[in-house]
Chain A
């Protein structure tokens, strides 16, 4: 759902750019407080994985393809603010290095995928996980639902931006975008839960949103 140049109005681009810059600035300050030695290479490897995985488009129905986003994946691993920064780095490199996503739409892409998908998706995950009583099952349930929702919500945000920009009316764009991305979101949920469960099996201490639970928390100090 990388929006190219030309789809969005200047007003939308400017507004989402301002919000994204603000959120990233706050994100840097938040991450600065609890970043240690181990988080630095983890941030590198998480971003590298997300970039590589985003290249792999899988086919879905009707001659359409989708790819992994990784916003909920990274926020569950490293926290929502680090995730926002990781998504932002990936989006900037994709835009400047690979012409994937427009330069004028960069703010909107960060907003849709990093803020709505990442921060919003993590919020849903957090609520569901806590409602489920922090069980292992609840963790994976919350993970699957929130990663699916991160795609649908991000795509819906894109649809709203397209509508406000006058590119496509909301009643056309919203169902179309949400519909297709409801399918792509299933792929997101499968990849996210699989990848997180693999990491949990080998290094549960690295999944900060899971490791916080007392019994499973391995003290690294």
Chain B
């Protein structure tokens, strides 16, 4: 006999929500056991002024902009209870699934490009701007690349960036890679995952550009045996300057250095110059030149490429884009076509 579970789940969730909504505002506000001991045994002050994590949206079970204490507690409890329900269910689902499905789920969760992600799409050149505090930026795109030797790559990816502070954001990006070589076996699998922290200490003012620095950590989630990745962790730093140089022109300059984890592979320097030409309040043209120097003394090995593209903002927080990158020497891909969107949202 298989009894339906739904009923009980809804009852359980209902009871929990009612507890949070109607009982939590009337909970005792006396110190709890540990606080009382800390107070009477004189070590309470050890925890004061020592908050490591300052960004809890509902600190002390309150919604900051709701002044009524009881309403504030009740609503924060309601939000927390619902959030926990979905988080625990999501994690339960993740655990239940087989490994292959887990990988697929993670991929959908945090896709991106294995080529430098986190850019102002469709540019690979980064801008000095950071995502507004508390807001998310989701960038999604599909790349089609043909290498100089006519190997092809198809690469859908996602990057999610969160504004930790007004001038600091944190992004995670990964993607799925379909590798279709001219000779040999086709492969596909999860690409590498990149974590990036970007900090903008200086805002544009008069002749001074916006300046930012970012640190990137490449976690080798791509399969080495399939040849989709190096299997090694890379670390990079990037200095970024963004300047509005005329009414319709914004330029971005990047100078970066990447420590490559793979044995026998040189570290890389990269420099790129990107520009945006604003056509209307919704539409812009973009372009860039990217040079990577692999520091082996032979400039023929250093990829040089240029990209032209466009973006169109269909809503204030949703931008569609497309671009074509053309390799200018043999080390760079023949071409890369990319299309995607950027979505900004604030929960």
Task: Indicate if the CB atoms of A42 and B5 lie closer than 8 Å.
Answer: yes
- Which residues of A in the span 94-118 have a Cβ within 8 Å of any Cβ on B? 94-100, 102-104
Query: Once the chains are docked, how many angstroms separate the CA of A67 from the CA of B28?
Result: 9
State which of B48-56, B189-197, B211-219, B291-299 sits at the interface with chain A. B48-56
Interface SS of A by simple majority: helix
User: Known contacts A5-B51, A98-B80; is A203 also within 8 Å of B33 by CB?
Assistant: no
Q: Which of B20, B34, B56 has the most CB of A within 10 A?
A: B34
Residues of A within 8 A of B85 (CB): 44-45, 47-48
Taking the closest CB of chain B, its distance from the CB of A220, in whole angstroms, is 6
* Chain B residue at minimal CB-CB distance from A177: B37
B76: chain A residues within 8 A (beta carbon): 98
- B-chain residues with CB within 8 Å of residue A28 when the two chains form the complex: 95
Complex contact A56–B24 (CB within 8 A): yes
| Chain B, range 1-56, C-beta contacts under 8 Å to A | 1-3, 5-6, 8-9, 12-13, 15-17, 19-20, 23-24, 27-34, 36-38, 40-41, 43, 46-48, 50-53, 55-56
Closest beta carbon of chain A to B115's beta carbon, Å:
32
Partner-binding segment picked from B58-66, B130-138, B157-165:
B58-66
A98 touching B61, Cβ below 8 Å = yes
Of A129-137, A142-150, A168-176, A208-216, the one touching chain B: A168-176
A:142-186 near B, CB below 8 Å: 155, 158, 162, 167-168, 172-173, 176-177, 180-181, 184
CB < 8 Å neighbour of B29 from A31, A57, A206: A57
Closest to A44 in B: B89
B81 within 8 A of A: yes
Contacting residues of chain A (36-86) with chain B, CB-CB under 8 angstroms: 36, 38-49, 51-53, 55-59, 62-67, 85-86
- On chain B, the residues within 8 Å of A42 by CB distance are 5, 9
**Cβ of B105 under 8 Å from chain A:** no
Choose from A47, A52, A86 the contact partner of B19 (Cβ within 8 Å): A52
On whether the beta carbons of A48 and B28 are closer than 8 Å, the reply is no
B16 to chain A, nearest CB (A): 4
Q: How many pairs, one residue from A and one from B, have CB atoms within 8 Å of each other in the complex?
A: 216
In the complex the two chains form, what is the Cα distance from A96 to B80 in whole Å? 11
Tell me the smallest distance from the CB of A8 to a CB of chain B, in Å.
Answer: 9
- Taking CB atoms, residues of chain B closer than 8 Å to A66 are 32-33
Docked complex: B108-148 residues within 8 A CB-CB of A:
none
Q: Are A44 and B88 in contact (CB under 8 A)?
A: yes
CB within 8 Å for A52 and B47 given contacts A86-B88, A98-B59:
no
Tell me if B184 is interfacial: C-beta within 8 Å of chain A. no
Query: How far apart sit A167 and B2, CA to CA, in the bound complex (Å)?
Result: 54
Measured between alpha carbons, how far is A57 from B89 in the docked complex, in Å? 26
Closest approach, in angstroms, between the C-beta of B248 and any C-beta of chain A? 42
CA distance A156 to B59 in the complex (A): 27
A219 at the interface (CB under 8 A from B): yes
Across the interface, A89 reaches (CB within 8 A) one of B8, B53, B91, namely B91
The verdict on A4 contacting chain B, using a C-beta distance below 8 Å, is yes
Q: Indicate if B208 sits at the interface (CB-CB under 8 A).
A: no
- The reply to whether A52 and B20 contact each other, CB–CB distance below 8 Å, is yes
Whether B84 is near chain A, meaning CB under 8 Å from some CB there, is: yes
Task: Provide the residues of chain A in CB contact with B47, threshold 8 Å.
Answer: 4-7, 102
Query: In the complex, are the beta carbons of A51 and B38 less than 8 A apart?
Result: no
Q: Is B300 an interface residue (CB 8 A)?
A: no
A28 to B97, CA, bound (A): 11
| Nearest B residue to A219, CB-CB | B1
Partner of A48, one of B30, B52, B73, B84: B84
A167's partner among B29, B46, B50, B92 (CB-CB below 8 A) is: B46
Q: Point out the residues of chain A lying under 8 angstroms from B82, CB to CB.
A: 48
Complex-state Cα separation, A45 to B84, whole angstroms:
8
B83 touches A58 (CB 8 A): no
In Å, the complex CA distance between A63 and B35 comes to 11
Q: Measuring CB to CB, which residues of chain A are less than 8 angstroms from any residue of chain B?
A: 1-7, 28, 31-32, 35-36, 38-49, 51-53, 55-59, 62-67, 85-86, 89-90, 93-100, 102-104, 155, 158, 162, 167-168, 172-173, 176-177, 180-181, 184, 202-203, 205-206, 218-221
B residues within 8 Å of A by Cβ? 1-3, 5-6, 8-9, 12-13, 15-17, 19-20, 23-24, 27-34, 36-38, 40-41, 43, 46-48, 50-53, 55-61, 73, 76-77, 80-89, 91-93, 95-96
Sample 7 A-B pairs with CB under 8 A, ordered by A number: A41-B6, A47-B87, A48-B17, A53-B19, A86-B88, A89-B87, A220-B2
